Structure 1
């Protein structure tokens, strides 16, 4: 946990911004314990009272929680509540496929980039295992939609941002690839496998820009297939593609 001393004694806002930035970037993850007050005071070169004010402000933002006798921890996001709310919005609005693709293009390349930057060894191992399972399914001629969903979900987890992780789950569940025949051909599965291989290799190597580009290329390729020909209209909802 690297910090810089605050510019003026007694000003806790800078401490709040620094810790909030670490949480936003995934340097501090949900469940992580912050250093003790005395340690933080030394790191920021402020009094313990100033640290307490900063912790209180972070708690009011629901970013951390103090546990009696156990210290201060980064709060877990209420994933179930978030998913329920987001899923409800999607279901009520019945978005067009183009809307879903636009959102995926906005967030998933960045997720791949964040995964390349933040993935821990355990994250890499899980991503590689999921990719290996997808490759076996393709070679066996089995459906791969579930493998695709798992891989994208693991990339989101590796990115270290719980909100993005939950958004990916909802978007992928709403856009069910098994409903798009063109995505299930052997040729398409091989192309998806190659795209995923490029993403996994970039994440494994910590190549941020490469991972971002590989994911963007992958999504653009899928979108081109989905909307190829007159059968798939940009105004269709996911349930209408079957």
Structure 2
């Protein structure tokens, strides 16, 4: 731990973690914190409307969007704005556009981004309990580690290792505010190495949604640094299993590490509901 960090209170360092996770300072008791609003550009609004139409069933996979002229008229914007919106939709896999085709772009059969948005809405507004979110996450992350051990490339292993090293260094140096970003990159790297886009999309959404739960877990623990050190140690075990291409070992270690992080804040019945996945 650095000299400067020794003189900072645990509460101050917990506030740093809260800010890193939420982008705002913890609201004072009896007060409310708001975040600044951001102006949405025209092309972003078009992207949102088209995605909403697809989610609502107005367009099916294989259907075509109207051509550029019709879209320009419908949205009352320039050709450049329409093309920027279509570029974003194509980059995220929502549509497929063929150069030189005078007809409108085709709605893709699968879009990770649409899946992410739908899952996020269900999880945030569908009343999912804490134990349901944890069950889903243990299943997803364990499966991701299993597949990562089988399919990871040398480059992907290096990225996961680099993220774990950053986690370790953040905790050992007392820079707890940096830990959330590094652990997110660690988990993202494992999901990417799994080679399964569905696992990557679903796991990323659940991980983001559980950011509040992670922040509370760190804030409420009497020794947050010890909690994170144990998490780093558990992460090293998962990493080693992936390095060794031990698929079943990676699944077990990764799920167990996530469970241990939250275990101290769970009731006996919640722990029992999760034991089958560990």
TM-score range relative to shorter protein: 0.5 to 0.7
Q: Residue 160 of structure 2 corresponds to which residue in structure 1?
A: 127
Q: Report if aligned partners of 2:234, 2:257 keep a CA contact under 8 Å in 1.
A: yes
Cα distance change, pair 145–173 in 1 and its aligned pair in 2 (3 A): same
CA distance in 2, matches of 1:66, 1:159: 28
Q: Report if aligned partners of 1:112, 1:208 keep a CA contact under 8 Å in 2.
A: yes
The one of 236, 252, 259 equivalent to 1:220 is 259
Matched ranges for 1:38-77 at <5 A: 77=110
The one of 234, 245, 248 equivalent to 1:195 is 234
Q: What is the aligned-residue RMSD (CA, Å)? A: 2.6
In the TM superposition, structure 1's runs of 4+ consecutive aligned residues that sit over 3 Å from their partners are: 65-68
Cα distance change, pair 168–178 in 1 and its aligned pair in 2 (3 A): same
Structure 2 gaps of 5+ residues are 1-92, 100-107, 271-278
CA distance in 2, matches of 1:208, 1:76: 30
Q: Report if aligned partners of 1:109, 1:215 keep a CA contact under 8 Å in 2.
A: yes
Cα distance change, pair 185–129 in 1 and its aligned pair in 2 (3 A): same
Q: Residue 169 of structure 1 corresponds to which residue in structure 2?
A: 204
Q: Residue 108 of structure 1: CA displacement?
A: 1.4
State the number of aligned residues: 162
Matched ranges for 1:72-111 at <5 A: 77-111=110-144
The one of 174, 181, 191 equivalent to 1:156 is 191
Q: Residue 186 of structure 1: CA displacement?
A: 0.9
Find the residue that maps to 1:200 and give its secondary structure. helix
Write the deviation string for residues 95-154 of structure 1: whole angstroms up to 9, x where unpaired: 111111111122211111100000011110110110111111011112222222221111
The normalised TM-score by structure 1 is 0.61
Structure 1 gaps of 5+ residues are 1-61, 69-74, 235-242
Cα distance change, pair 76–214 in 1 and its aligned pair in 2 (3 A): farther
Find the residue that maps to 2:128 and give its secondary structure. coil
Q: Report if aligned partners of 2:163, 2:182 keep a CA contact under 8 Å in 1.
A: yes
CA distance in 1, matches of 2:171, 2:151: 29
